Amino acid sequence: MGNSENPADDKLQSEFGGKIDLNNAHVRQFRECRGMYPTLARLVITNAPYERVEDVLDIPHLSDRQKQTLSSHFGHFTVTPPRTDWTEGDDRFNPGLY
pLDDT digits (tens, 9 = 90+) for 49-71: 999 999 999 999 999 999 999 99
What DSSP line would sit under 61-96, residue for residue? T--HHHHHHHHHTGGGEE-----HHHHSTTTTT--S
Contacts of residue 68, defined as CB under 8 A and 6 or more positions apart, other chains included, come to none
Single pTM value for the model = 0.74
Provide the CB-side half-sphere exposure for 18 (13 A, CA).
4
pLDDT at residue 95, as a whole number = 53
Phi, psi of 37 (to 5 degrees): -100, 130
Distance between CA 41 and CA 28 in Å, rounded?
Answer: 8
pLDDT at residue 26, as a whole number = 87
Average pLDDT, the chain: 82
pLDDT at residue 55, as a whole number = 98
pLDDT at residue 84, as a whole number = 76
Low-confidence ranges of the chain (pLDDT < 50): 1, 16, 98
What DSSP line would sit under 4-31, residue for residue? -S-HHHHHHTSGGGTSEETTT--GGGGG
